[in-house]
Amino acid sequence: MARIITFGEILIDWIPLESRPFGGLDIPVKGQFPGGAPANVAVAVARLGQMAQFVGAVGQDDAGEFLRESLQKMDVNTDHLLTDPEHATPMAFVSLDEKGERSFSFARENTADLNFDPDYFAQGVFSGEGIFHICSNTLTHEGLFQTTLMGLQQAQQANFLTSFDVNLRLPLWRDPSRIKARVLDCISYCDIVKLSQDELEYLAAEEPSLTFIADLLTLGPSLVLVTDADKPVSLYMAGNILTQVTPKVTVLDTTGAGDAFMGAWLYAMLAQNVCNPEALEQALNSDAVWQFALKTAVTGGGFAVTHQGAWSALPTLSDIKAL
């Protein structure tokens, strides 16, 4: 049976819950939530009833065990989640403004996710068929960047589709001058690419956005998704553009909204049996396939922003149908 395999970081998100007076100070209380963009996507897919597997590494510590157990409770396969006895599990500290928009600081120095062994992808990870999904947080360090490229190459060789949510987190990059080249290197191995409007403008720099998207479609991808907060989502294909308005909802917390969108998009591809390059080639001629995927994705993202947290905000299929 086809499945989604996501690769990259899994971490503890410390998310604000409330403030309490303590000793004359107003102390923010943060909760320990499982997170990490590719892990969020795996959980999103599993919540919607499709098979999902996470590939990565956690430390041999309480945080790592909590994350492994959390994935398993969400019905995500952890057969290829490694335990690293020498490096700690990473953490992120989330702040929210009055509009619910996020900002991050990270404890991610020489952590388990950064030390994933590139040779591990040869250990039977890509059996059967499905979609291999990454985000750019595995591109921040040279070794892990090369590991990511190896994963993409092996996924392609195994006849998997490949998916990339760019999802830039600039504070993680020691050398921002490497961002564009590394992102484009990965895009050249991907069938599906998702960008926010801000990420699109950042990468395009002085080049017009539509010209840059056209360049991406010649580089490798068949599908380029562009999101822009609550504005309509655009899907670019060679010679075709589709758009989808987003649901009108009251935003509580945007943490994980993009991952909910991406998980719902990948769910829709599996649900329509678009899970190998041949099926993708055939589906490119059917707007109905992509209209269903777009509507499902924006509904998944719209549901997520009305709930707090990352995994706790991910919808089930009944949630999507209700919204």
Q: Is the pLDDT of residue 309 over 90?
A: no
Q: 3-state DSSP call for residue 205?
A: coil
173-179 long-range CB contacts below 8 Å, 24 or more apart?
173/140, 174/140, 179/136, 179/139, 179/203
Q: What is the pLDDT of residue 215?
A: 97
Q: For 99-118, how does the pLDDT look when each residue is reduced to its tens digit (9 = 90+)?
A: 767 677 888 989 999 999 98
Domains of the chain listed by start with CATH number: 3-17+29-322 (3.40.1190.20)
Q: Is the pLDDT of residue 1 over 70?
A: yes
Report in angstroms the alpha-carbon separations of 320 from 47, 264, 312: 11, 9, 15
User: 0.85 cut: is pTM over it?
Assistant: yes
Q: For 6-22, how does the pLDDT look when each residue is reduced to its tens digit (9 = 90+)?
A: 999 999 988 888 888 88
Torsion of CA 13, 18, 21, 25, to 10 degrees: 50
The set of residues, in sequence order, having a beta carbon less than 8 Å from that of 233 and lying 6+ positions away, is: 225, 226, 227, 243, 244, 246, 294, 297, 298
In eight-state DSSP terms, residue 254 is -
**pLDDT band per the 50, 70, 90 thresholds, residue 254:** confident
Helix (H) / strand (E) containing 181: helix 179-187
Q: For 42-72, how does the pLDDT look when each residue is reduced to its tens digit (9 = 90+)?
A: 999 999 999 999 999 999 999 999 999 999 9
